[in-house]
Amino acid sequence: MKVRVWDLPTRLFHWLLAVCVTGLVVTGEIAGDAMAWHFRFGYLVLALVLFRLVWGFAGGYWSRFSSFVRRPSHVVAYIRGRKSSSSVGHNPLGALSVLALLGLLLVQAGAGLISDDEVLVSGPLVAKVPNAWVTAATTFHTTVGKFGVLALVALHIGAIVWYRLRKNDDLVTPMWTGDKDVLEPVAASVDSAARRWTALAIAGMCGLGVWALLAWAATAP
Ligand code: HEM
Ligand code: HEM
């Protein structure tokens, strides 16, 4: 039988995030005129990650942190094969990579706001912080942050391919259609029109928050 695992807001969040992060890496490397798009993608990633953090409390059952964030001892037991996990939702190891990705993207986008290439482009909040912060944030953004994001995305996609080849487990179709085939009944994520409107309202507020930050950034230092 089929069960709704990923509600539409989670799926839209995911694929938009994947497009934006790819766009960020490409425009960051091209630099020059592409930086205008780098900034736009960056603001969108900020709003998306903020949305996902709220949706981790307000979203469908399997999108909530309470359904997949586990104690470290539980994760270790899972890795050692001493604990199995539900085949629905994120497994304990996958959950760690979700949190690492969201956390690093938030820090990387935050650093971008105060990064500066000392020639043509400056993040919108550069004038609001001390120079030493700008130097540190730019170094982080172009080294640890950049390679960290690339490594986590490679690990993420590698893990999905591994599950497909080694465990014959197709994780991609559910992230696309929302549904998973299960043998026994499990809780479903509610994905009604009302929940989707709620998600849109939350996403709108996150967008407004980023916009307010940028409006403040444009005021005199
Ligand atoms: C830059 C690219 C990408 C980023 C930043 C990214 C990020 C994420 C994040 C944050 C989640 C957690 C979803 C949530 O609970 O909200 C996730 C899950 C997932 N992603 Fe990606 N993703 C990327 C690319 C891809 C690609 C290309 C694929 C397909 C091959 C993919 C397939 C999946 C799947 C199947 C899941 C659910 C995993 C599970 O069942 O536990 N992702 N991704
Ligand atoms: C998670 C989101 C982001 C990712 C993955 C990302 C990635 C990158 C990459 C790969 C580069 C090129 C680094 C290099 O030259 O080696 C770069 C440069 C840069 N990014 Fe981002 N970026 C993100 C968000 C942002 C945001 C939100 C802003 C500002 C609004 C920003 C501002 C900059 C600036 C100013 C540079 C030029 C730094 C320099 O060349 O010294 N980035 N970014």
Say if residue 92's pLDDT is above 90. no
Residue burial 182-196, b: 16+ Cβ < 10 Å; e: rest? eeeebebbebeeebe
Give me the pLDDT at residue 27, please: 98
Cα-flanking dihedrals φ and ψ of residue 90, to 5°? -80, 140
Q: Is the pLDDT of residue 35 over 70?
A: yes
Which listed ligand is nearest to 12 at the C-alpha? 1
Nearest bound ligand to the CA of residue 49: 1
Write the Ramachandran bin of 104: left for phi over 0, alpha for psi from -120 to 50, otherwise beta: alpha
User: Domains (ranges, CATH) in the chain?
Assistant: 2-217 (1.20.950)
Per-residue pLDDT at 202: 98
* Residue with CA at minimum distance from ligand 1 atom 23: 18
| Predicted confidence (pLDDT) at residue 177 exceeds the cutoff of 80 | yes
Q: Does 125 contact ligand 1 (Cβ within 6 A)?
A: no
pTM: 0.94
Q: How does pLDDT run across 102-154, given as a tens digit for each residue?
A: 999 999 999 999 999 988 899 999 999 999 999 999 999 999 999 999 999 99
Q: What is the C-alpha to C-alpha distance for residues 116 and 123, in angstroms, rounded to an integer?
A: 6
Place of tokens 């199995």: 84
